[in-house]
Amino acid sequence: MNLASRITAALIVGFARAVTAVRGVWEGIAPVQEQRIYFANHNSHGDFVLIWTVLPPDLRLRARPVAGADYWLTSKLKSFIGRDVFNAVLIDRNPETRNVDPMAQMSAALKGGDSLILFPEGTRNTGQSPLLPFKSGLFHLATANPEIDMVPVWIENLNRVMPKGALVPIPLICTVTFGAAMRLEADEDKANFLARAESALVALNPERKN
Amino acid sequence: MNGHFIILLGLVLTVLLIATGAAQLLKRRAGADNLTIQNLTARINAWWVMVAIMAIAFLAGTAGVVILFAICSFAALREFLTLTNTAAADHWALAAAVFIVLPLQYLSVGMGWYGFYSIFIPVYAFLLMPILSTLHGQSKNFLIRVSEAQWALMIAVFCVSHVPALLSLNIPGYEGKNLFLIFFLIVVVQSSDVLQYVWGKLLGCRKIAPTLSPSKTLEGLVGGVISASLLGAALFWITPFSVLQAFALSLVITLMGFFGGLVMSAIKRDRGVKDWGHLIAGHGGFIDRLDSVIFSAPIFFHIVRFYWDLH
């Protein structure tokens, strides 16, 4: 990372801490340097930033978010943050226009030894249900990389900090809970795997626990 | 003023050193993996940090103290709002509370403008925030939402701001010494919390509020309040009060502090949490540490203002 990216990263992390006092809860897995695929619920553009903030700095450097090129390449600032600061794997979400296969992009990043952070709902969930049905990308990743741990990550409260369409954030305490790692089981089909992944993620929701 | 400051800082550091030494002795006797001792050590270590920050703020004078408590209010408001039922429809009201009301309150405290800071939140914010909340046209839980938002402002901003507001009191013969009123308030109230904990651990058996705060005992309350009030009386020489007055005021603020802790415990129980936050290791959140100050500061301010201030 060059100096401008480092400074921007520090500013973003500092701002996230000031607004949310975010705390990582390592419930099912320890914060150690291992190659992983983190998958999280998606309510806000800031979701990735919160996960990034609670990761210890050495893990943070190797954890790349998977994000939509249609959002992150629309302005110079966004593309600087997306590419240079977050080192995102930018995928084209539209199957008709894309000329690179997102699975190939993600596999390349994993081959390079990096961890991935992805939001298998595919888009921001702005409704009342806790999760949208997962897209199949997570299953294809698990099939292609059966030896990499997949870690569910529940982000709590960020949708209240920044509801859809809000211009300023409301400071509220957020938590990021990391669950136990899971892998594709032998002869597990797509529907079963995605259902298991969804319930592993929803189980981390603090509201469910009370 | 400076002489007193150095004496007081020396006293506080001596107490902290003794506490740290005692915790080390206990650790040797009970073993390093005893959870109570671990928590005690974390609490004492956090006190070192809090004392250092307070000392720096005091050295920086009025501006330093006002900014320090504004930051405390911000952190407390963040903790309080997290536990409320406020909805997306209240976004503008809450944004105004954090980014307009809080700064204006502390600005007016810094200016010593009593006529503004004493009514701004109870009158203007009280009436304007629910108006902002109506703009979304959402009536679900409306009374709950606006009441909780007002409570958040009163507890986290209005009450906390009465600590630095002590600097604007004008007491004849006490000019330039108002920082010691803050020292007096905080040391008496916080040592009452600590002494209640100590007396409770030593002698406590009769639970005083088992459904709200199971760790509070009658022995802890009486021992803590009396010993902290004696400490307050012993500090009369830094205040405009006589020994007896210092004792009586200490009694009032330690009792308010105790009941403040009880009120805030009831809220936490209702919302199913143990602590308000996690930023102060061993203590919990800012509100966990400030609850007794929150309830005692405005009462202390108004008693001193009524009887001692020229107005």
The CA-CA-CA angle for residues A184, A186, A190, to 5°, reads 55
Q: Which residues pair with B207 in a beta bridge?
A: B217
Which of A70-84, B213-227, B233-247 is predicted least confidently? Answer: A70-84
Q: What is the pLDDT of residue A209?
A: 56
The nearest CA of chain A is from the CA of B110 a distance in Å of 23
* CATH code for the domain in which residue A150 is found: 3.40.1130.10
Q: How confident is the model at residue A207 (pLDDT cuts 50, 70, 90)?
A: confident
Q: Are strands A63-68 and A115-118 parallel, antiparallel or unpaired?
A: parallel
- B204 vs B12, residue with greater confidence: B12
The A-side interface with B (CB below 8 A) comprises 21, 23, 157, 160, 163-164, 166, 168, 170-173, 210
Listed in sequence order, the residues at least 6 apart from A95 whose beta carbon sits closer than 8 Å to its beta carbon are none
The B-side interface with A (CB below 8 A) comprises 74-75, 77-79, 81-82, 86, 88, 91, 94-95, 98-99, 272, 277-279
Q: What is the pLDDT of residue B214?
A: 87
Range of the domain at A180: 3-209
Average pLDDT over residues B207-229: 94
Provide the residue ranges of all domains of chain B, joining segments of one domain with +.
Answer: 1-59, 62-308
HSE (side-chain half, CA atoms, 13 Å) at A208: 12
User: Structurally, how many domains does chain A consist of?
Assistant: 1
φ, ψ (nearest 5 deg) of residue A136: -80, -5
Average pLDDT over residues A33-41: 95
Q: pLDDT of B23-74, one tens digit each?
A: 999 888 887 788 888 888 999 999 999 999 999 999 999 999 999 999 999 9
Q: What is the pLDDT of residue B35?
A: 86
Q: What is the pLDDT of residue A208?
A: 61
Q: A156, A170, A207, A210: which to substitute to probe chain B, counting the most B Cβ within 10 Å?
A: A170
CA B282 – CA B300 distance, rounded (Å): 28
Q: Which residues pair with A89 in a beta bridge?
A: A66
Which of A40-54, A94-108, B222-236 is predicted least confidently? Answer: A94-108
- Chain A residues in contact with B88 by the CB 8 A cut-off are 160, 163-164, 166
Q: What is the pLDDT of residue B187?
A: 97
Q: B79, B82, B157: which to substitute to probe chain A, counting the most A Cβ within 10 Å?
A: B82
Residue A210: pLDDT above 60?
Answer: no
Share of chain B above pLDDT 90, in %: 85
Q: pLDDT of A77-90, one tens digit each?
A: 989 999 999 999 99
CA A109 – CA A86 distance, rounded (Å): 13
Q: A160, A207, A210: which to substitute to probe chain B, counting the most B Cβ within 10 Å?
A: A160
Residue A125: pLDDT above 60?
Answer: yes
Q: How confident is the model at residue A189 (pLDDT cuts 50, 70, 90)?
A: very high
CA B154 – CA B175 distance, rounded (Å): 29
Sign of the four-CA dihedral B235, B237, B238, B243: positive
Task: Select, from the ranges B34-38, B83-87, B153-157, the one with the highest average predicted confidence (pLDDT).
Answer: B153-157
Q: What is the pLDDT of residue B232?
A: 98
Report how many Cβ contacts below 8 Å link chain A to chain B.
34
Give the 3-state secondary structure of residue A156.
strand
The nearest CA of chain B is from the CA of A121 a distance in Å of 22
Residue B279: pLDDT above 90?
Answer: no
CA A126 – CA A42 distance, rounded (Å): 9
CA B30 – CA A129 distance, rounded (Å): 49
Q: How confident is the model at residue B188 (pLDDT cuts 50, 70, 90)?
A: very high
Residue A124: pLDDT above 70?
Answer: yes
Listed in sequence order, the residues at least 6 apart from B218 whose beta carbon sits closer than 8 Å to its beta carbon are B204, B206, B207, B208
Q: Which residues pair with A115 in a beta bridge?
A: A63
| B86, B272, B277: residue with CB nearest A210 | B272
